[in-house]
Amino acid sequence: MTGLKISVSGIRGIWGESLNIESLSGFIKAFVIFLKNRNCSGILIGRDARPTGAVISSLVVGIMNAFGIDVLDCGIIPTPTVLFGVRKLMLGGGIIISASHNPIEWNALKFVIRDGIFPGEEEIKLINSYIGMDIRESPYDRIGRNKKNKTVEEMHINAILNNISVSAIKDMHFRIVLDPVNSAGCRIGQKLLEKLGCEVRLVNGEINGSFGRGPEPIPSNLVHMTPAVREFNADAGFAMDPDADRLVLVDEKGAVLSEEMTFALCADHVLSLKRGDIVTNYSTSMLSDWIAGKYGVHCYRTKVGEANVTAGIFNHKAVIGGEGNGGIIYPAINPARDSLAGMALILEMMAKRNKHLSELTYELPHYFMLKEKIETPLTAEIIFGRIKKEFPNAVIDDTDGIRLDWDEKGARIWIHIRPSNTEPVFRIIGESSDENLLKSNLGLARELMIRQ
């Protein structure tokens, strides 16, 4: 359907345009068929706080019930908590209503399958193949039921507390500034931190979906966290996106860290406690490779997208995985990007090593990274053809878009170009130990992507 972004990251669109009652109904009914073919009789649903969430939630409940599927409705709740709940309650699936980091006029359906994971590319194709297929409503005496669920948040918190050293964190009496961007992480984020003995100051803490800053937790949207951390004399600041699956850190000096640092620090901490391989995507910093080398394990890479990284974790029996956008996947707690688990791991790392966040960050190598979104009328085929011709010395990997890796002037450099899963743009990301080298090569790649 024109204008919708359909991928392992969900079915996304702008409300009232590509995302409307007709398009939503078609996908929901298709998911009904998918679920019924797997003998699923009940699902869990949750949403972020954006204004269109309640309307879409009502539509999901109505259609599911009409075709005989029970719904446990958790209301406004983090994406990782829905995934946790589907698995913990042994349900056949779920639906999350959230466009994550997209602007407020966007929304999305994110389907969840058995075991609390997102469907992969093949399963998305299968669901899409059911769109428009006839399906009859259940008889009046077999329609599904709708029940509210208020217990999954507490279950999620308890799972986190059971897998970290709570006493070590409590002994530190941390002071934390939390920015859950007026959405799903407000209540549960504060509750978790307080159970860890933290004194918490909320910024953008009212659950109203108005998004008091840009929804994506990137440094440019978090400049307000610097004075907030300093004024509160905080040990750290934590910032989430609207559905609370991504986490960005602010150190005790008020410096907003790159979103790449979240996975790097969590991976370093987990591997210090338990050896095992790690998994990340092709767009994530080579800090992951350095950390894997430090502990003598392997770093596997997958296509971008939580479903792909999670599948990689299962396939390689990895102890932790994640993405450079602030996504932490710690399967001992939850095989999903989980900002709440991420906060607990960072606090545990600070407590066990008795170091400030700035000190922990300083111990890692420093690389330069640039991330851009490019709007272009050119096709991927044309762009990738030009790139391959212009960078003949690079090692090419076309598993996910195109990634180039090479050494130049004694420095390692990589560039990854791919169509976005969530927006109608191309993403271009590059990294090197040499800033000038990175800028010149990324500039050349950018020019090749837009030149007519």
**What pLDDT is recorded for position 41?**
85
The pLDDT of residue 1: 42
Looking at residue 132, what is its pLDDT? 92
Q: Is 280 helix (H, G, I), strand (E, B) or coil?
A: strand
Residues (pLDDT < 50) of the chain are 1-2
Report domain extents, the chain.
5-150, 170-362, 368-450
**CATH number of this structure's domain 5-150:** 3.40.120.10
Q: What is the C-alpha to C-alpha distance for residues 270 and 275, in angstroms, rounded to an integer?
A: 8
Residues 6+ apart with CB under 8 A from 282: 301, 302, 303, 304, 397, 399, 400, 401, 403, 416, 418
pLDDT digits 0-9 by tens, 396-409: 999 999 999 999 99
Fold for 368-450, please state it: TATA-Binding Protein (3.30.310)
pLDDT above 70: percentage of residues in the chain? 100
371 contact partners, CB below 8 Å, separation of at least 6: 427, 428, 429
On the question of a common fold for 170-362 and 368-450, the answer reads no
Q: Which long-range contacts (C-beta less than 8 Å, at least 24 apart) are formed by 218-225?
A: 218/248, 218/259, 219/248, 219/256, 219/257, 219/258, 219/259, 222/179, 222/248, 222/250, 222/256, 223/256, 224/179, 225/177, 225/179, 225/250, 225/254, 225/256
> What's this model's pTM, rounded to 2 decimal places?
0.94
Q: Please name the fold of domain 170-362.
A: Alpha-D-Glucose-1,6-Bisphosphate; Chain A, domain 3 (3.40.120)
Q: What is the pLDDT of residue 3?
A: 78
Q: How many residues are listed for the chain in this entry?
A: 452
The pLDDT value recorded for residue 9 is 79
Backbone CA torsion sign across 424, 430, 436, 441: negative
Question: What per-residue confidence (pLDDT) applies to 31?
Answer: 97
Query: Greatest CA separation found in the chain?
Result: 73
Residues designated as active site:
100
The pLDDT assigned to 402 comes to: 97
